[in-house]
Amino acid sequence: MSAALGLFRLQLIDRQVDRAQTQLKEIQKSLDDNSELVELTGKIEKVQSEIDSVNQAVRTAGADTQSQQEKISQAESSLYSGQVHNPKELQDLQNDVASLKKRLDTLEERELASMTELDAAEKELGMLRASLEELKIKRESSMSVLLGSRSLLNRELEKLTEERRATLDPISMEHRNMYEQLRRSKRGVAVVEITDGSCSGCGTTLTAAMQQNARSLSQLVACPTCNRILYGA
Ligand SMILES: [Zn+2]
């Protein structure tokens, strides 16, 4: 096996490791992200507290209406009691009843408006709760898919770690260091194949001697332009 082949295989494994780790990070991010749930729960709490205050308004309006009706009954019973004879007093009582009734209309309108508002808020709450249930079900099923993918990726990583150890074993310390350094400085690509007599990393045409040396069993040959390790199949 040429010296470059060992590193080329190592790089194939390392790229799979990188990919698996990136996917694992993405999965973890999705697993941790419960922002939709938090947002919806916040909305529900807000509508719930609206409902509480509208409920209070409905009760107050109901009590006001009732007490106004009592006032009207009292005024009417005085009016029709037959005990008031003075026309001026009768007129005053009639005026009182009329103005009390007018006020009652306003109070009843207010009560109705509060009830309508309550109705709308309760409907909204119902819809939000249904959405929350739906979201929880959706999230549960996506979580189980994500957890499944995560355990597959972890198993794959274990396998890759084993493969990496075996591949790394025959590679000298010097070559390992050279490889690691290039991986860091060349965006993960330390070893490149020779294709049609050129470096597949940068396209530089390579001499026949260089190509021959790249197949050598002991030494590594670097591309004269991009400095990556050349691998000739
Ligand atoms: Zn090159």
Do residues 12 and 117 both lie within one domain?
Answer: no
Q: Which residue has the higher pLDDT, 128 or 216?
A: 128
What per-residue confidence (pLDDT) applies to 218? Answer: 82
Asked which of 19-23, 89-93, 151-155, 165-169 is least confident by mean pLDDT, the reply is: 89-93
pTM (2 d.p.)? 0.75
Tell which of 139, 168, 197 closes a domain: 168
Q: Which residues pair with 194 in a beta bridge?
A: 199
CB-based contacts of 37, cutoff 8 Å, min separation 6: 132, 135, 136, 139
Tell which of 168, 200, 221 closes a domain: 168
Do residues 209 and 129 both lie within one domain?
Answer: no
Structure confidence by residue, pLDDT tens digits, 197-222: 999 999 999 999 999 999 888 889 99
User: What's the whole-number mean pLDDT along residues 82-108?
Assistant: 93
Q: Is the pLDDT of residue 108 over 80?
A: yes
Residue 225 CA, ligand 1 centroid: distance in Å: 5
C-alpha dist (Å) from residue 135 to 32, 86, 164, 198, 227: 15, 73, 42, 54, 53
- In CATH, what number is assigned to the domain containing residue 87? 1.10.287.1490
HSE of 216 in the Cβ direction (CA atoms, 13 Å)?
14
Do residues 140 and 188 both lie within one domain?
Answer: no
Structure confidence by residue, pLDDT tens digits, 30-85: 999 999 999 999 999 999 999 999 999 999 999 999 999 999 999 999 989 888 88
CB atoms within 10 A of CB 1: 9
Structure confidence by residue, pLDDT tens digits, 170-197: 999 999 999 999 999 999 999 999 999 9
Residue 71 CA, ligand 1 centroid: distance in Å: 99
Give CA–CA dist 161/138, Å, rounded.
Answer: 34
Do residues 192 and 127 both lie within one domain?
Answer: no
Residue 230 CA, ligand 1 centroid: distance in Å: 8
Do residues 51 and 146 both lie within one domain?
Answer: yes
HSE of 151 in the Cβ direction (CA atoms, 13 Å)?
5
Q: Is the pLDDT of residue 1 over 80?
A: no
Do residues 97 and 116 both lie within one domain?
Answer: yes
The token pair at 57 is 């308004």
DSSP letter string over 158-194?
A: HHHHHHHHHHHTTS-HHHHHHHHHHHHHTTT--EEEE
What per-residue confidence (pLDDT) applies to 222? Answer: 95
Do residues 40 and 143 both lie within one domain?
Answer: yes
Do residues 127 and 206 both lie within one domain?
Answer: no
Residue 161 CA, ligand 1 centroid: distance in Å: 29
Domain that holds residue 46: 34-168
What per-residue confidence (pLDDT) applies to 197? Answer: 95
Do residues 45 and 146 both lie within one domain?
Answer: yes
HSE of 195 in the Cβ direction (CA atoms, 13 Å)?
7
Check residue 121 and report its DSSP letter.
H
Do residues 85 and 196 both lie within one domain?
Answer: no
Q: Is the pLDDT of residue 229 over 80?
A: yes
In the block, tokens 């992200």 appear at 33
List the shell of residues around ion ligand 1, using CB closer than 5 Å. Answer: 199, 201-202, 204, 223, 225-226
Angle between helices 3-32 and 87-168 (to 10 degrees): 160
CB-based contacts of 202, cutoff 8 Å, min separation 6: 223, 225, 226, 228
Do residues 158 and 186 both lie within one domain?
Answer: no
Residue 137 CA, ligand 1 centroid: distance in Å: 52
Do residues 3 and 96 both lie within one domain?
Answer: no
What per-residue confidence (pLDDT) applies to 233? Answer: 78
Residue 21 CA, ligand 1 centroid: distance in Å: 28
The token pair at 104 is 């009652």
What are the phi and psi torsion angles at 154 (to 5°)?
Answer: -65, -40
Tell which of 168, 189, 218 closes a domain: 168
Give me the number of domains the chain comprises. 2
